[in-house]
Each structure stands twice: as C-alpha cells, then as structure tokens.
C-alpha cells in the first residue's frame, strides 16, 4: 500500500514535465534544451516572432512550427527553451 502511494505521488509530480515537451517524429524537445538542439530535432521553424517586454526591449523569441492538426509554440530566452505549448488547429 505504501509503495502504491509513492508511485502515485511521483507520477503526479512528473506531470508538469510531460507538459513541457513535444515530439518531432521520434525525437523529443524539452524545456531547458538549447536552440541548437531545437534546430537539430525540429529543423527551421515556419515562423519566428520576436518577443518584447513592456518597455519594448527584446525578451526572447517564439518559434512556431505548423504541423498536421496542431501548431507548436516554443518560447526561447537566452538561447534555451523556457516554454513549450501546442495549439490544436
């Protein structure tokens, strides 16, 4: 019984990590990966949007990949992936 509770708790803690990754074919990109790794796995993005803070200064980039049935949005700051999200189309 005690080990079952530990497994359930460990699974619940791992859920946010699953939400911050995306597969391109049989390769995975996750938060913390570099832009170089992103290009190796996913290739050139379909669109790159420059992100600005409220003062107009550069705050990062959003790489957009248009795949079948979804759009993958990857936010990059300081050369590393900080957020991954998918939008169903």
Task: Read off the pLDDT of residues 12-42 as tens digits, 9 standing for 90 and up.
Answer: 444 444 458 999 999 999 999 999 999 999 9
| 54 φ, ψ (degrees, to nearest 5) | -70, -15
Mean pLDDT over the full length of the chain: 86
What CA–CA distances, in Å, run from 86 to 3, 6, 14, 18, 45?
A: 34, 30, 19, 12, 14
Predicted pLDDT at 2: 63
Predicted pLDDT at 78: 96
Q: Report the predicted TM-score, pTM, of the whole model to 2 decimal places.
A: 0.77
Predicted pLDDT at 79: 96
Q: Specify the 3-state DSSP secondary structure of 46.
A: coil
């Amino acid at each position: 019984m005690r080990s079952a509770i530990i497994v359930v708790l460990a699974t619940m803690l791992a859920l946010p990590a699953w939400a911050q990754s995306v597969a391109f074919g049989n390769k995975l990109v996750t938060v913390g990966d570099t832009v170089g790794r992103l290009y190796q796995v996913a290739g050139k993005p379909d669109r790159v949007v420059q992100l600005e803070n409220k003062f107009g200064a550069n705050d990062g980039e959003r790489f957009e990949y248009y795949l079948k049935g979804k759009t993958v949005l990857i936010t990059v700051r300081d050369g590393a992936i900080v957020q991954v999200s998918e939008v169903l189309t």
